[in-house]
Structure 1
Amino acid sequence: MRVSHVRKRDGRQGEFDFSRIRSALSRAFEAGGEGREETGENEHHDKVEATAAEIEKMIRSWEDAQLAAIGPGAELPAIPVEEIQEMAETALMKCGYFETAKRYIRYRYHHGLERRETGRQRKEDAESGKMAVATGSGQRVSFSRENLEAYLNQQRQLLGKVKAAEIDSSRISRMVLEGLGETVSTAELRLLSVQAAAGLIEEDPVYDEYAALLLRQAHARELLASEAGESGYFTAYRQGFIREINRGIELSYFDPRLAEFNVEAMSQAIKPERDMELRYIGSETLRERYLLQIEGKPSETYQGFWMRVAMGLALNEANKEEKALEFYELMSSLRFIPSTPTLFHAGLEHPQLSSCYLSTVNDDLSHIFKVMGDNAALSKWSGGIGNDWTRVRGTGAWIASTKVHSQGVIPFLKIANDVTVAINRSGKRRGATCAYLETWHYDIEDFLDLRRNTGDDRRRTPDMNTANWIPDLFMKRVEAQGEWTLFSPDETPDLHDLYGSDFEKRYEEYEAAAARGEINLFKNVEAEKLWRKMLSRLFETGHPWITFKDPSNIRSPQDHAGVVHNSNLCTEITLNNSSDETAVCNLGSINLPRHLRAISDESGGDNNTGAAFVELDEELIAGTVSTAIRMLDNVIDINYYPTEEARRSNMRHRPIGLGILGFQDALFMQGLGFHHEEALAFADRSMEVISWNAIMASSQLAAEKGAYDSFKGSKWDRGILPQDSLDILEAQRGIDIDVPRGGALDWEPVRQSVKKHGMRNSNTMAIAPTATISNIAGVYPCIEPAYKNLYVKSNMSGEFTVVNRYLVQELKAMDLWNDQIRELLKFRDGSVQEITQIPAELRERYLEAFEIDPVTLLRFTARRSKWIDQSQSHNVFMKGSSGKMLDTIYRSAWRMGLKTTYYLRTLAASQIEKSTLDAKVYGYTQKRGAGASAGGDESSPATGSTPENQPVAKVAGVGLALAAAPMTAVQGAEICNLLDPDCEACQ
C-alpha cells in the first residue's frame, strides 16, 4: 500500500496497518458463527482473504484517485477510517457475505450512537468541571473552559491588536470541547486548539498565523517546558539548543564536529521570535518531517533546527562560526531554503546533502545491475534518481556471447521499478526514479506503454517515472510529416553521444545503411504518428514526460567534458554523465517574495491593483545569492557520497542549482496576473538579476578557492554565458527561436570576472519543483501559478482548507469577504471567474493554473530559460481534452528552445468537499458513489441550481472528488483519442 496513515474520527492520524483490517474482518465473521471453529480454518481464511483482496483493490483505486487529485509534488493524505469501513461494507456484499455485511452495518450504526452519547457526556463533564486533565507534571486537575479561553486569548494577543481582534477564541474553545477524547492532557488540549484554529483557515487566513502560533506554543512546551511569552522563555529556548546539540552528538545522530563550534555563542545568536515567520503548514511540515526525531518525537526547536543546518553547512569554513551565523540568518528569515536532503542531513553523521543523481546504463549485464545497486544506495540516503537506459540494446537484438536474442530494455526497467519501491528515502519518503530513453531506440514504443494500467504487468512500471529524451531531428521530421527510423543501440552506438548537426548527419548515414540492408534490426515509422502516440500516452498516463536532448547539450556549459544523456527525477537538472561519473546536483531556492521592497507612490494616487507598491530589491538579492552560492558549494565538500562515481563527478565539476520559489506570490504582491506583460517582464528581469549575481558569486568564489577542475575548455572559459547559447542553439537548428534576447543589466563585469578567475561551479542555476520547502516558506511552489484559490491540504493532524490569502486581503479591503463569497468560492472549487460579486479586475488577476493559457506559461519559462545554465521543472496545466491543444503546447515548448518539461496536469472534476453548503441553495454537490459517470450531464445538475443558475460542478465517479490529474484518473470520462483520424480536435 502507498497510503501510510489513517485519519481517525477526531482528526488525528495513526499508522496505516492493513493487518488490522484482516483482523477486523476475522472478528466480523466470528461474530456470526463463521469463525475458525465453526467453518474450519481454511474456509474462514478464504473468506477473510477474499474480502481483504476486494478492500485492497478499493484502497488502490482510492490511492490512484488521490494522487491524481492532489497537486504536483504533493504526498498522499491519510485515508479516513470511515472510508475504510465503507469499503469493508462494499467488499462484504460484493463477495456475497450479505449476513455478515448486515451485522457489520448494524454494528457501525450502534457504535455511532454510542460515540455520540459518549461525546455528549464528555462535553457535559468538561463544561461542569467533572473531567480531569493530566498536566505535564503528572497531576490531575479539573478541566476549566475559562482557563482554556484565557490561554487562547493570551496567545492571540501575540499577533497584535488588529489581528487579535479577528480571532474568535470562544469558537475555538467550543471546537476543542467537541473534539475531546476519553482522556485528555494539557498537551492534547494544546494540539486540539491547533487543529481547531487550522480548521478555520478557510474562513480567514489570520487563523493560519494563529494556528502556527499555537503549534509553536505546544512544541515549545513539549521540548522546553516553558510557555511562549513567559519570562525566561528566550533563555529556555537557547539553553534547549545547547541540550539538543549535546544530546544529538552523544546519541551519534549529529556529526561530532559540531562540538568544535562555540555552541554557547551560537545559542545566543538564535532568534526565537523568528518562529513567527512560519505559517501553520510550514510549522507542521518542519515538525512532521524535518526536525530530528528521537524515539519517535521531535527533539529540536525550529530555530535550533535552522542553526544546526547552518553549522552543518559551515563545517569546512576557516571562520566557521561567522559563516554559520550568516547561513542561519538567510534560512531563519526564509530568504533562502536548501533542498530537502540538505535539510534532512546537514550536521548529521551521514550528511547526504545532494538532491539528485543522474547515471547512464551500459549495454552490459554486470553494469546494469551495478546501476540498480547504486540506485538503492542513493535512494537510501534520500537522493532522487534519473537513469539513462538508451545504451541497452533493443528487443530481438543478437547477443553474441549466449547466441540468443535480447529481450530488450523493458524487463530491466521492471526490475528498476521494484528497486525504487523497495527503498524508503531516509525513512521519510518513498524512493523515486525516472527512466529516460531516446526517441530513436528500437523499444521506444514499448517504453511509452510502461505506465499503462492494461497489458502484461511484467512489462509495466507503475511506481517509476519515465521520460522521452527527444533529439531535434525527430521534431523536424514531425513538422515535415516525415519518416523516422528506430535502431538498436548495439548497431548504432555513437548516436547516444551525438547531438545537433553531428547527430543529424550520423543518423541519416545509419538510415542509408539500413536501406542498403547493412543493419539487422531497425523499424521505419511515421514521425507524426509516433509523436501522437507519445502525446496520447502522456495524456492517458501522465508519462513519459517530454524532454529535449539537443537544447540540453548545445546550451550546456560543459559541452567539452561529455554529454548530457538525461535529466533527473524532476527534469530541472541537465548535467553530463558517463559510466565513470554519476552526475550530482545540490539544490536550494530563493524565496522571491522576501526580496520585494515597498516603494512610495510618487503620483499620490491609487495604483489600481489593490496591492502595495513593491519592486525587486536587487541589493538584497545580491547578498542572498552570494551567500546561497557559498552554501551550495560547501555541500559538495561536506557531502557523504553513496557511490564513488558520484563523488568523482561532483568533485570534478562542482555543479549546483540555485532556483526560486514564490513567483506567484511576487506577482500577487505587485498586483499582477500571468496575463500581464509586466508579469512577463518581471520574470525576465528577476531571473536576469539572479543569474548575474549567481555567476558573479561563483566566479568570486573561484578567486578565493580556485576554479572547478574541468573549467578549462568550458563555455565559461570560452566567454560564452547562458544567454549567449540561445543563438548557438538557433544556428544549430536552423530554425528561429522566438525568445527576446538582451537584458537590462551590464554584463561586462561578470564576463571580466569569469575571464580572470574562472568559475567555482560548472553549473549554477536550476529551478526545482520546491513542493515541500515552499510549504515551509509559506508560498506557492517555484514558478507555478496558483493551483487553486481554495484547496485542501493534509498533514499528520488531518486535513484543512486553505484560501488564497492575497485574494482575501483584497476582498477585505473592498469589504467583500463575507459568508456568501466564501460559500460561492467553495462551490466554485476556488475559481472566482463565475462569482460576479467580485470585481472583474480581481477575477482577471486571480486566475487559477487551469484558467491560464498553457502556452502563455511556456513563454514565462522561456524568458527565464535564457539566463539559466540548467533547466526548470515546468508543469503543463491543460484544461479540456483537445489533442490539438496538447500538440500545440509541446511543439511550442520545443520551438521556444526549452530543454525539458515536467508533469502534464489536466483538469478533471471538483476537488473541494461541499458538505457545508446549503443544498437548498447550491444543490446536492456531494461525492457520488463509485460507478457514477465521471463526466456527468452538463444540463442536469444533481439537484437544485446555483445562485447564477449554472449547472452543478461535475464530480468524478470514483467515490471521491478529483482535481488536476492525468486523463485516465477520471474513470469513465470520455477523453480525446489522439490517434483517431476522425477526431476533429486533432486535425
Structure 2
Amino acid sequence: MKPSKMPQDTVEPVISDNARTVLTKRYLRKGEDGQPVEDFRAMFWRVASSIANEEKKYKKSRYKADELAGIFYTLMTEYRFLPNSPTLMNAGTDLGQLAACFVLPVGDSMEEIFDAIKHAALIHKSGGGTGFSFSRLRPKDSRVGSTGGIASGPISFLRIFNTATEQVKQGGTRRGANMGIMRVDHPDIIDFIRAKERDGELNNFNLSIALTEEFMQAVENNEEYVLIAPHTKKEKGRLKAVEVFSLLVQKAWESGDPGIIFLDRINRDNPTPAQGEIESTNPCGEQPLLPYEACNLGSINLDRFYAPDSDDGIDWEALRDTVHLSVRFLDNVIDASRYPLDKITQMVNKNRKIGLGVMGWADLLFQLEIPYNSHKALKLAEKVMGFIQNESKSASKLLAEERGPFPAYNESVYARQNLGPFRNATTTTIAPTGTLSIIAGCSSGVEPLFALSFVRQVMDGERLAEVNPHLEEALKKSRSHSPKLMEEISQKGSISRMDFLNENLREVYVTAMDIEPEYHLKMQAAFQRYTDNAVSKTVNLPHEATKEDIWDIYWMAYELGCKGVTVYRDGCKSSQVLCTGDGEKASQEKKEGRLSVQERPEVVYGFTQKVRTGLGELYLTVNEVDGRPFEVFATIGRSGRSITAKAEAIGRLVSLALRSGIAVEDVVKQIKGIGGEHPVFQKKGLLLSIPDAVGWVLENRYMQGTKTVGSHAGLSRPSCPDCGSELVFQEGCFVCSSCGYTKCG
C-alpha cells in the first residue's frame, strides 16, 4: 500500500556521515534528473507507513495502522532493526518489489534455460538477487534427443547467465548478483569447480558445490563415488572423493571460489518437504529456497541492546519487543511486495518465509568486554540467537492467531510434529548487512570488524581515518588515547601487537585477521544452531594459510553442523595469477622469483584515450579484466619508426607487468615523471614523455589521485570503484566501508 501522510512532529533521524553518503547514493528516491526527491525522514516514513498500512487487511490486529507506522519509524530510526535493501529502496513506490532473495529453477531444455535467464533479468531489475542450481542440466557431449545434436553442458549456459546479468543494472545501484550451484555427483563437476580459476571469469556469480553426506563419507573412507547423469539418472562414471575434495580446497585457497554447501543437512531442515527438495540458495548462501521461492530479510542491531546496569549486560525485554515487532514488519512486507512473476507470488504466499537476523554482534562484544575468540563469546552467541529464535517463533504463532497460519502449514513438519500453527514457514536467517550496518553505524552481521579503523574518502580527495567508537571510548577510559595512537591504529587496523596497550584491550578489540580460523567457524556454528535457514559468514585466513588449513575448516564445518562455509585467504585475489592453472608449477616459479603471466581471455573490453604529447597524438588502448587494467597498446600518429617502436615497447612491457599481477600503482610509480626531449603543456598538466602520458592515463583512470590502500598485513587489496577506499571481503561479497559499494561474485 502507499504511505500515509507524514505527521509534522515526526522526529528527524540522526544520520552519520557514512550513512548520509550511502542513503543519498543508493536509497533515497530520485527524480528524472537523478537528484533526491525525498530526505532521510521522508524515506524512513515512506517505508514505515507503507508496511504498517498492510495491517488494515487484518481485523484481529492489535494495532491501528497509523499507530504502527509511528512504531516502525522509531524502530528503524533508532537503528534497532532495518529491513533488507529492496524494502528500504522500494517500499511505497510504484515498483514495490521488496524481497532480496530468489531461487529460480533451471530445467534441462532450451526453453526452460532461457526462461530462467529472462526471469532473472526481471528480478535483478527490481533489486533482487538470484540463486540457481545447474544440476538438472545434462552434461556436455550428451546426446540431445529432440535434435540428435550434442549438449554444450552447464558451464556454457552458466556463462550466458553471467553475460545477461552484466547487462542489467540491479535496482539502479549495483550489478545483479547470482549464486550458481552444482551437485558434487554431476558428471561435469570438475569443470564447475574450476569455472572461476581464470581471474574475472563469471564475475556476477558466487559458486558453491553441493556436497552430499554420501560424498563426505567417501572422502572419509578414501573411496570412489558415483557420478549420475541427471537426464537419465544413470551412472556416468566414478571419481575418487578425496581428489575432488582436494581440488575444492585448492581452488578455495587460490581465490575463495567455489564455496561449499551441505545439501542433505539443508534438506533435513526443509520445513515443507512435501513441496520438493531445496537445490539452491540465494547469492550469499544464507537463504536456501525452493524453486520460485523468495524471502525478505531484516536484521536486529544487537549493539543497541547493551544494558550496563542489567545482570548480564543485555536488555532482554527490549530485545523481545524488537523481535516481535520485526516479525510483524517482515510478515507485512510479504503482503506489500509485488513480485516479478506470478509463480513467485504463489510460492511466497504459500510458505510466507521471513528471515530475521542480527548485526552489531562484534560491537556488543566490545561493550561487554568479551573477546570474540573466546568460549564465553560462543556461549553468549547461542544464548542470544536461541532467544531470538524462540521469540520469533512465539511472534509467528501470535500472528497465526490474528491472520491464520501459512497456507502450506498442514503439509509442513510443524503439523506433523504437532508444534502448533505458525504464520511463517521460517523466521530466522543471518544475512549479510554490508550497507545496512553502515546505515545503523554498527559492525556487519555476526562478523568481527575487519579493521578497527578505516579511511573514508571525503570531498576534494581528502581522506579521514575513522576509529571504532567503542575502542576510542575504551582508550580514553584507560588514558591511552592520543592522536599519534589513532594514526598508528589507522595504519595497522589492529592493536593486537601493540604491547604497550592494556592486555585486556588487546584481547577484546580483535579483528578478523587476529582471530584463529577455528573461532570464525565455531561462531558460525553457534549461531547456526538457533537459525532456521543459514548463516552468512566468512572464515578469514591469513595469507600464509595452507591448503591443509582449509581442508580442516571444511571438515570442521561438516562436523559442527554448518549448512555451508566460505573461506577467504587474505590477499589471494591480488595474487591469483600465481595460483591458477598448475598450482605446484606456480608455487615453484614463485620460489624461483619468476611470476606467472596470466593468460589472455578470448574476449576483453576496454577503452581508447587520445593524449597530446610533444611527439604527436598518442592513442592509448587499455583493456580490462574484472575492472582492472590487463594490457595496454600505445600507438602514436606522427613521427618515424623509432618512436612507434618505443611506444609499442612501452605498451608491451606495461602489459607484461599488469598480466604478471603487478599493481597498477607500482607501474605508475615507475613510469610517471620520466622526462623527454619534447614536454608539452596542456589542461591536463605538463606531460613530459610517452611513458609519462601512459602513467597519467593509468593514474587518473584507476588511482583517482590517491595512493593504493594497503592492509595491516601489508597486502594490496582491491579498491572501491566508486570512492577509491579499500574493499574488504566478508559475508561472501566485497564491501566498501566508506560508501556502501558491494560486489558479489
So what's the TM-score if we normalise by structure 1? 0.57
Q: Is the 8 A contact 2:254 2:572 kept in 1?
A: no
Q: 1:398, 1:404 within 8 Å by CA — same for their partners in 2?
A: yes
Q: 1:375 to 1:796 in 2, by over 3 A?
A: farther
Alpha-carbon deviation of 1:408? 0.9
Question: Taking structure 1 as reference, are residues 759 and 963 closer, same or farther at Cα in structure 2, changes over 3 Å only?
Answer: closer
The Cα of 1:790 is off from its aligned counterpart by 2.0
CA distance in 2, matches of 1:592, 1:896: 24
CA distance in 1 between partners of 2:354 and 2:480 (Å): 46
* Structure 2 counterpart of 1:491: 232
5+ residue gaps, structure 2: 57-63, 575-662, 671-711, 734-745
3-state DSSP class of the match of 1:547?
strand
Distance 1:489 1:417 in 2: 23
Residue 134 (structure 2) pairs with residue 389 (structure 1): yes
Q: Counterpart amino acid of 1:291?
A: L
Change (3 A) 1:554 1:793: farther
What is the DSSP-based 3-state SS (H/G/I as helix, E as strand, rest coil) of the residue aligned with 1:901? strand
The equivalent position to 1:302 in structure 2, one of 18, 30, 40, is 40
Q: For the structure 1 residues 431 and 471, does the alpha-carbon distance in structure 2 shift closer, same or farther, using more than 3 Å as the test?
A: same
Match of 1:406 in 2: 151
Contact 1:616 1:686 in 2 (8 A): no
- Letter of the structure 1 residue corresponding to residue 556 of structure 2: S
For 1:571 and 1:897, the matched residues in 2 are separated by 15
Q: Cα gap change, 1:412/1:321 in structure 2, threshold over 3 Å: closer, same or farther?
A: same
**Contact residue 450 and residue 511 of structure 2 kept, 8 A:** yes
Question: What SS is found at the alignment partner of 2:151?
Answer: strand
Counterpart pick for 2:180 among 422, 435, 453: 435
| Aligned length, in residue pairs | 588
Counterpart for residue 540 of structure 2 = 877
Partner of 1:562: 276
Tell me the equivalent position of 1:542.
256
User: What letter matches 1:471 in structure 2?
Assistant: T
Q: Secondary structure at the residue paired with 1:378?
A: helix
1:659 Cα shift?
0.5
Shift of 1:485: 2.5
Residues 726-768 of structure 1 deviation map (CA, whole Å, 9 limit, x = unaligned): xxxxxxxxxxxxxxxxxxxxxxxxxxxx52xx01111111010
**1:805 CA displacement:** 1.9
Shift of 1:965: 6.4
Paired with 1:366 and 1:928, the residues of 2 have a C-alpha distance of 47
Counterpart selection for 2:335 from 637, 644, 648: 637
Is the CA contact 2:44–2:77 (under 8 Å) kept in the aligned structure 1?
yes
CA contact (8 A) 1:909 1:961 kept: no
Within the candidate set 360, 365, 368, 2:113 is matched to 368
Q: Deviations over 1:570-605 (max 9, x none)?
A: 11112222xxxx0100110001111222216xxxxx
Query: Match for 2:8 among 268, 271, 286?
Result: 268
Give the 3 Å change call, closer, same or farther, for CA 480–881 of structure 1 in structure 2. Answer: same
Native 8 Å contact 2:282 2:289 kept in 1: no
Partner of 1:284: 21
State which of 322, 325, 336 in structure 1 corresponds to 2:70.
325
User: Residue 476 of structure 1 corresponds to which residue in structure 2?
Assistant: 217
**Residue 850 to residue 908, structure 1, CA distance change in 2 (3 Å):** farther
For 1:637 and 1:469, how far apart are their aligned partners in 2?
32
Return the match for 1:659 from 344, 348, 357: 357
Aligned pairs for 1:143-158 within 5 A: none
Give the match for residue 409 of structure 2.
711
How far apart are the structure 1 equivalents of 2:127 and 2:533? Answer: 22
Amino acid at match of 1:766: T
Larger radius of gyration: 1
Q: Is the 8 A contact 1:909 1:954 kept in 2?
A: no
SS at structure 2 position matched to 1:368: helix
1:460-519 alpha-carbon deviations (Å, 9 max, x no partner): 423322111111111111111111232321121xxxxxxxxxxxxxxxxx6xxx4xxxxx
Q: Distance in 2 between matches of 1:961 and 1:930?
A: 19
Q: Return 298-307 or 388-397, whichever deviates more.
A: 298-307
Residues 596, 962 of structure 1: CA spacing in aligned structure 2 closer, same or farther, 3 A cutoff? Answer: closer
Amino acid at match of 1:588: G
Residue of structure 1 aligned with 2:503, choices 811, 831, 840: 840
Asked if residue 771 in structure 1 is aligned to residue 430 in structure 2, the reply is no
Counterpart pick for 2:294 among 569, 584, 599: 584
Verify the 8 A CA contact 1:630 1:701 in the aligned structure 2: yes
* Residues 588 and 659, structure 1, Cα contact 8 Å, conserved in 2: yes
Q: Which amino acid letter does the alignment assign opposite residue 531 of structure 2?
A: I
Q: For the Cα contact (< 8 Å) 1:435–1:467, is it kept in 2?
A: yes
Distance 2:169 2:425 in 1: 31
* Residue 819 of structure 1, aligned match among 483, 496, 501: 483
- Cα distance in 2, alignment partners of residues 341 and 408 from structure 1: 34
Separation of aligned partners in 1, 2:25 and 2:362: 26
Distance 1:292 1:963 in 2: 26
Identity percentage of aligned residues: 29
The aligned runs of 1:50-199 (5 Å cut-off) are none
**Matching residue within 452, 456, 461 for 1:789:** 452
Contact 2:301–2:440 under 8 Å retained in 1: yes
| Residue 293 of structure 1 pairs with residue 30 of structure 2 | yes
Write the distance in 1 (CA, Å) between the matches of 2:228 and 2:169: 36
Secondary structure of the 2:150 match is strand
TM superposition shift of 1:776: 0.3
Structure 2 counterpart of 1:529: 243
- 2:470: which partner in 1? 806
* Contact 1:928 1:955 (C-alpha < 8 Å) held by counterparts: no
Query: Does the CA contact (< 8 Å) of 1:393 and 1:490 recur in 2?
Result: yes
CA distance in 1, matches of 2:509, 2:378: 16
**2:484 is aligned with what amino acid?**
Q
Instruction: Tell me if the contact between 1:596 and 1:614 (Cα under 8 Å) persists in the aligned partners.
Output: no
Alignment partners' CA distance in 1, 2:269 and 2:187: 27
Please say if residues 278 and 290 of structure 2, whose CA atoms lie closer than 8 Å, have aligned partners that are also in contact. yes
Read off the aligned partner of 1:838 and give its amino acid letter: L
What residue number does 1:314 align with?
A: 52
1:583-638 CA distance string (max 9 Å, x none): 100110001111222216xxxxxxxxxxxx86221111111111111111111111
Match of 1:888 in 2: 552
Give the secondary structure class of the aligned counterpart of 1:712: helix
Give 1:822 deviation, angstroms: 2.7
CA RMSD of aligned residues (A): 2.7
Contact in 2 for aligned 1:956/1:962 (Cα 8 Å): no
1:831-852 Cα shifts (integer Å, max 9, x gaps): 2122122122211222210111
Pairwise CA distance, 1:905: 4.4
Aligned mates of 1:847, 1:463 — CA distance in 2: 32
Q: How does 1:960-971 map to 2 (within 5 A)?
A: none
Counterpart position of 2:644: none
Residues 1:866 and 2:604 are matched in the alignment? no
Contact 2:179–2:285 (Cα < 8 Å) also in 1: no
Cα pair 1:908 1:965 within 8 Å, conserved: no
Provide, for residues 791-817 of structure 1, a one-character-per-residue CA deviation record: whole Å limited to 9, x for no partner.
234578865432122222111112211
Cα pair 1:767 1:871 within 8 Å, conserved: yes
- 8 Å contact from structure 2 (residues 134, 182) kept in 1: yes
2:565 counterpart SS class: coil
Q: CA deviation at 1:446?
A: 0.8
Which of 279, 300, 315 is matched with 1:617 structurally?
A: 315
Alignment match, 1:347? 92
The gaps in structure 1 that reach 5 residues or longer are 1-254, 493-509, 515-521, 601-612, 721-753, 911-925, 934-951, 970-987
How many angstroms does 1:428 deviate by? 1.5
CA contact (8 A) 1:875 1:905 kept: no
Question: Which structure 2 residues correspond to residues 707-786 of structure 1 after superposition, within 5 A?
Answer: 707-719=405-417, 754-755=419-420, 758-786=421-449
Given candidates 301, 304, 319, the residue that maps to 1:594 is 304
Q: 1:685 aligns with which of 383, 403, 407?
A: 383
Question: Is the CA contact 2:135–2:182 (under 8 Å) kept in the aligned structure 1?
Answer: yes
1:572 counterpart residue number: 286
Counterpart contact for 2:255–2:568, Cα < 8 Å:
no
Q: Distance in 1 between matches of 2:668 and 2:133?
A: 40
